[in-house]
Amino acid sequence: MKRVKAIYPGSFDPPTNGHLDLIERGSKIFDELVVAVLGNPEKQPLFSVADRRKMLEAMTADYDNVTVDTFDGLMVEYAMRVGARAVLRGIRAISDYEYELQMALMNRKLQPGLETVFMMPAEKYSYLSSRLVREIAQLGGAIDCLVPPLVAQKLREKIDVAHRFSAGEERPAPEAVATPRVKASTTKTRKRKS
Ligand code: PNS
């Protein structure tokens, strides 16, 4: 029997409990599931593609048949490159349907051999979206029941840094943010070199 590989593409900015619910469902019906993070969305993401990938890798570590990858450009071309025969998408409410139908039909036009499979997350996640999670986090609301603990922590760190800078704190050099233990003198030297 043919093994079916599927991709679950999305922005995942940030990944939520709803995404994880769908990944779990997908992992049960597909032989292989690749969670594919879009690298170059039109809008400016809150998290870098590397951060989103790391969060998803941690969230899916217990699923043997789930991997995480990133992609740019047309989703159907990426799907063909990795040998996927299906695209998994979640539908939470009727309001998702129109957009998802349009995208699925356009993707079918572009690549007739690729099937879009829709799954519904648990009802308790039907009102959950990354956009709302970002908004609630930025306004200081409780996000712990909406995203996995690791994502909640990352969101708090991100929002905290943003608040400190908007309050007038000087923004450190990018390399000092990436490696917080770097010595100030090292940072200065690097800055002068560039
Ligand atoms: O989580 P999102 O933002 O709803 O995911 C949307 C996504 C990434 C699946 C969609 O925007 C996409 O596939 N983008 C890649 C570019 C592409 O193929 N566009 C044509 C879609 S018909």
Report pLDDT digits (tens) over 121-143: 999 999 999 999 999 999 999 99
pLDDT at 190: 35
Of residues 19, 52, 53, 89, which has the active-site annotation?
19
Give the residue, by CA position, lying nearest to ligand 1 atom 8.
Answer: 10
The DSSP annotation for 92-144 comes to: -SHHHHHHHHHHHHHHHHH-TT-EEEEEPPPGGGTT--HHHHHHHHHTT---T
Q: Is the CB of 14 under 6 A from ligand 1?
A: no
- Evaluate: CB of 159 within 6 angstroms of ligand 1: no
Ligand 1 centroid from CA 107, angstroms: 10
Atom of ligand 1 nearest to the CA of 107: 22
Distance, CA of 28 to CA of 73 (rounded, Å): 28
In this prediction, residue 193 has a pLDDT band, given cuts at 50, 70 and 90, of: very low
Model confidence band, residue 40 (pLDDT cutoffs 50, 70, 90): confident
From 12, 44, 75, 99, the mutation candidate for ligand 1 (largest count of ligand atoms within 8 A of CB) is: 75
Per the annotation, the verdict on 19 as an active-site residue is yes
Q: Using 50, 70 and 90 to split pLDDT, how confident is the model at 173? A: low
Which atom, in ligand 1's list, is nearest to the CA of 99?
A: 4
Report whether pLDDT(28) > 80.
yes
Question: In Å, what is the CA distance from 2 to each residue of 5, 24, 26, 84?
Answer: 10, 21, 17, 12
Tell whether the torsion through CA atoms of 86, 87, 90 and 91 is positive or negative: negative
Q: What is the pLDDT of residues 47-67, one digit of tens each?
A: 999 999 999 999 999 999 999
CB < 8 Å & 24+ apart, contacts of 122-127: 122/21, 125/16, 125/17, 125/18, 125/21, 125/92, 126/92, 126/93, 127/92, 127/93
Lowest mean pLDDT among 11-15, 28-32, 185-189: 185-189
Answer with the residue of higher pLDDT: 44 or 82: 82
Q: What strand order describes the sheet that includes 86-90?
A: 66-71, 32-38, 5-10, 86-90, 115-119
| Residue 192's pLDDT band (cuts 50, 70, 90) | very low
Residue type, 75: M
Whether 163 sits among the annotated catalytic residues: the reply is no
pLDDT band at 161 (very low <50, low <70, confident <90, very high): confident
Each residue's pLDDT tens digit, 87-112: 999 999 998 999 999 999 999 999 99
The residue among 39, 58, 70, 44 whose CA lies nearest residue 162 is: 44
Q: How far is the CA of 75 from the centre of ligand 1 (A)?
A: 7
Give the closest residue (by CA) to ligand 1 atom 1: 10
pLDDT band at 164 (very low <50, low <70, confident <90, very high): low
Which of 52, 92, 134, 154 is flagged as catalytic?
Answer: 92
State in Å: Cα 179 to ligand 1 middle.
32
